[in-house]
Amino acid sequence: MKRSLISALLLACAIPAGASIALFTDGRSMKVTGYKLVDQDSIELMFRNGGAMTLPLSRVERIVDDEVVEPAEEPAVKQMIAAGMFPKRSWHYDPVRGPIFHSKYDRVIVDAAKKYDVDAALISAVIKAESDFNPRDISGKGARGLMQLMPATAERFGVTDSFNARANIRGGVRYLRWLLDTFSENADLALAAYNAGEGNVWKYDGIPPFRETIGYVKRISRVVREALTADTAPAAAAAIAGAGQN
């Protein structure tokens, strides 16, 4: 995709977020009512009073939709979170478990899983949720590539080109390993942090009460649970291992 076409797509993308939180790389946060990418390197944040400001995208760690769950839903949501959405198990690399979703990136995923010691099934579920395996994907919030890395996150984990599939996956998996280590292998918290930032997980002492984040963790955990129950991941791993020996 040529730069001119990417720029046109970015300029057409304006998100009127009813309530969002912009988290900055210096630790500050700010409530915004909307945001849009001005170009590949800049984002405009809009405020309730009608004002707006444009700043480098590299200063934004992420933008989280700040739609909290309704009071009537709170008991069920709290029970679901307390019970845990992901299985209670290790998320280290296991050679018998491969990617849940087959793609042309299976070998890259397995290599990154081995290198950074992260479960390959979990990695593929995250990629499916983030970009549906589109290496050129750009979100309205500025996240890029297969694992939807914000520029600040890409820089933090050594990715110089987020549209390079191998580099993007390696950076995203390094980040996942860091989050799993930080939250003691608790996948619920690690994935909540991948979506909403580790700062919000620490702030709320658990999964933040954002509808987007709760739905994100629930969606990925359901896919992983179903795959583990059906025992399809081991078959995928065997197929990949066999292909690698040819």
Which residue numbers are catalytic? Answer: 130
- The residues, ordered by sequence, that sit 6+ positions from 245 with a Cβ below 8 Å of its Cβ are none
Residue 208 CB neighbour total at 10 angstroms: 24
Contacts for 8-11 with beta carbons within 8 Å, 24 or more apart?
A: 9/138, 10/37, 10/38, 10/39, 10/40, 10/138, 11/37, 11/38, 11/39
Distance CA 109, CA 112 (A): 5
What tokens appear for 156 in the block? 């933090």
Q: Are 126 and 98 in contact (CB under 8 A)?
A: no
191 φ, ψ to 5°?
-75, -35
222 φ, ψ to 5°?
-65, -45
